[in-house]
Amino acid sequence: MAQRGKPAGPRKPKQNPLHKVEFVDYKDTALLRKFISDRGKIRSRRVTGLTVQQQKQVSRAIKNAREMALLPYTSNTR
Protein backbone atom coordinates (compact mmCIF):
# COMPACT_ATOMS: atom_id res chain seq x y z
CA MET A 1 0.00 0.00 0.00
CA ALA A 2 1.39 3.39 -0.99
CA GLN A 3 1.84 6.18 1.53
CA ARG A 4 0.17 9.50 1.01
CA GLY A 5 1.74 12.91 1.34
CA LYS A 6 5.39 13.65 1.81
CA PRO A 7 7.91 10.86 2.07
CA ALA A 8 9.14 10.25 5.60
CA GLY A 9 12.65 11.41 6.27
CA PRO A 10 14.74 13.41 8.69
CA ARG A 11 13.32 16.84 9.35
CA LYS A 12 15.50 19.89 9.27
CA PRO A 13 15.03 21.82 12.51
CA LYS A 14 13.82 25.38 12.08
CA GLN A 15 16.00 28.16 13.35
CA ASN A 16 14.53 29.78 16.43
CA PRO A 17 13.51 33.36 15.57
CA LEU A 18 14.11 34.44 19.19
CA HIS A 19 17.64 33.04 19.44
CA LYS A 20 19.15 36.42 20.45
CA VAL A 21 16.17 37.85 22.35
CA GLU A 22 16.30 37.40 26.11
CA PHE A 23 12.93 39.01 26.92
CA VAL A 24 9.87 39.46 24.72
CA ASP A 25 8.57 43.00 25.21
CA TYR A 26 5.09 44.10 24.16
CA LYS A 27 6.52 47.43 22.97
CA ASP A 28 8.70 45.73 20.33
CA THR A 29 6.03 45.68 17.62
CA ALA A 30 8.46 44.91 14.80
CA LEU A 31 9.36 41.61 16.46
CA LEU A 32 5.77 40.77 17.36
CA ARG A 33 4.52 41.36 13.81
CA LYS A 34 6.61 38.37 12.69
CA PHE A 35 4.34 36.13 14.78
CA ILE A 36 1.02 37.49 13.51
CA SER A 37 -0.59 36.31 10.28
CA ASP A 38 -1.88 38.70 7.64
CA ARG A 39 -5.38 38.11 9.05
CA GLY A 40 -4.27 39.20 12.52
CA LYS A 41 -4.10 35.77 14.15
CA ILE A 42 -1.22 34.60 16.33
CA ARG A 43 0.80 31.99 14.47
CA SER A 44 1.18 28.53 15.98
CA ARG A 45 4.36 26.97 17.35
CA ARG A 46 4.55 24.60 14.39
CA VAL A 47 4.75 27.55 12.02
CA THR A 48 7.05 29.82 14.04
CA GLY A 49 9.40 27.19 15.49
CA LEU A 50 9.28 28.56 19.04
CA THR A 51 9.54 26.63 22.27
CA VAL A 52 6.55 26.35 24.59
CA GLN A 53 7.84 29.02 26.95
CA GLN A 54 8.69 31.40 24.11
CA GLN A 55 5.27 30.90 22.51
CA LYS A 56 3.58 31.79 25.81
CA GLN A 57 5.73 34.93 26.13
CA VAL A 58 5.02 35.97 22.54
CA SER A 59 1.26 35.40 22.80
CA ARG A 60 1.08 37.33 26.09
CA ALA A 61 3.13 40.19 24.58
CA ILE A 62 0.88 40.30 21.49
CA LYS A 63 -2.24 40.42 23.65
CA ASN A 64 -0.77 43.21 25.77
CA ALA A 65 0.26 45.16 22.66
CA ARG A 66 -3.25 44.80 21.25
CA GLU A 67 -4.73 46.05 24.52
CA MET A 68 -2.41 49.09 24.41
CA ALA A 69 -3.39 49.70 20.74
CA LEU A 70 0.14 49.06 19.46
CA LEU A 71 -1.04 46.14 17.30
CA PRO A 72 -4.40 45.66 15.57
CA TYR A 73 -6.83 42.95 16.60
CA THR A 74 -7.66 42.22 12.96
CA SER A 75 -6.27 43.13 9.57
CA ASN A 76 -7.26 46.37 7.87
CA THR A 77 -8.20 44.83 4.51
CA ARG A 78 -11.47 43.09 3.83
The alpha carbon of 70 is separated from its chain's Cα centroid by a whole number of angstroms, namely 17
Task: Residue 35: count other Cβ atoms within 10 Å of its Cβ.
Answer: 22
Q: Model-level pTM?
A: 0.79
C-beta separation of 46 from 13 below 8 A: no
Per-residue pLDDT of the chain (78 residues; tens, 9 = 90+): 566 777 767 777 778 888 888 889 999 999 999 999 999 999 999 999 999 999 999 999 999 999 999 999 887 766
